Amino acid sequence: MTEKEQSGGAGLHIRRVVSYVILIFLTIICLLPFYILLINCTRNHVDIQKGFTMLPGSSFAKNFENLMHNPNLPVLRGILNSFIVAMGSAVLTTYFSSLTAYAIHAYDFRGKKVIFTFILMIMMVPTQVSALGFVELMRKMKLMNSFVPLIVPSIAAPVVFFFMKQYMDSALPIEIVEAARIDGSHEFRAFNTIVLPIMKPAIAVQAIFAFTSSWNNYFIPSLILDKKDKKTLPILIAQLRSADFLKFDLGQVYMMIAISIFPVVVVYLFVSKSIVQGVALGSVKG
């Protein structure tokens, strides 16, 4: 081996070590907030106010019991409400966004580019801009304190549509759809039996993103829901944090945040492989 090759090999080894060090450092930074959250779940209100410590406390069971027996916070009901809204939103947004992307991808019609551009323009409109009108509409339709306004509008999700369209451009040859048509398959059957299985990685990506976004959503639910048995977890967390000084308990706050994060982590672990595959393919336009 020549001196030049030895020098090149040493340089590659140094770059690899530096890369690993940076990745480990970034991993620690990302996981540190979760570690702090878990540690504070085991400490009482007084200990948390004293400052952070690396060692867990002994108040985990007490914090959990206090939270579950809090008469003003129906935690289990809040978990169920959040799950219904998040799961419903994830299912509707992935299916109908895929269906819309399929229509744009598989059909050639007049105004196709205009419609595509219009959908992308909607992505630029913040939720806050239309929130007042949306709430007033729901009030007139007598849908306040209902999950319908939180689930059904997720059918129209421009961001999910755009991702699905990009994924179809790279992973769904139009010849497959044409072959299904020649064999006599109608469009919905072709979509449900041929297109959806091909779209599984992309659906997994957008399902977890939609689930997480809906699970953590506070703004719109706080405007729609005010009944105790209808509130979702983010509303209950905000309610707990805004309690008066005599009732405020940081141990309960951290415990409730941990409970709200746990389902999202579980869902992510189940579909993490599909997420990596879907992001890798969906970000490359064939």
pLDDT tens track for 261-274 = 888 888 777 776 66
**pLDDT tens figures, 158-190:** 889 988 888 888 888 888 888 888 888 788 888
Closest alpha carbon to 285 in 123, 172, 118, 177 = 172
Is 0.85 topped by the overall pTM?
no
pLDDT at residue 284 in the model: 46
CB burial string 207-229: b at 16+ within 10 A, e below? bbbbbbbbbbbeebbebbbeeee
**pLDDT tens figures, 191-225:** 888 888 888 888 888 888 899 899 999 999 999 99
**pLDDT tens figures, 94-144:** 999 999 999 888 888 888 888 888 888 888 888 888 888 899 999 999 999
Average pLDDT over residues 236-261: 80
Using CB atoms within 10 A of its CB, is residue 130 exposed (0-12), middle (13-18) or buried (19+)? Answer: exposed
Identify whether the C-beta of residue 36 lies closer than 8 Å to the C-beta of residue 46: no
Q: Which three-class secondary structure state does DSSP give residue 242?
A: coil
Q: How many CA within 13 A on the CB side of residue 241? A: 11
- Which tokens belong to 260? 């709200």
Q: How many CB atoms lie within 10 A of CB 279?
A: 16
pLDDT at residue 152 in the model: 92
Q: Give 230's DSSP letter.
A: G
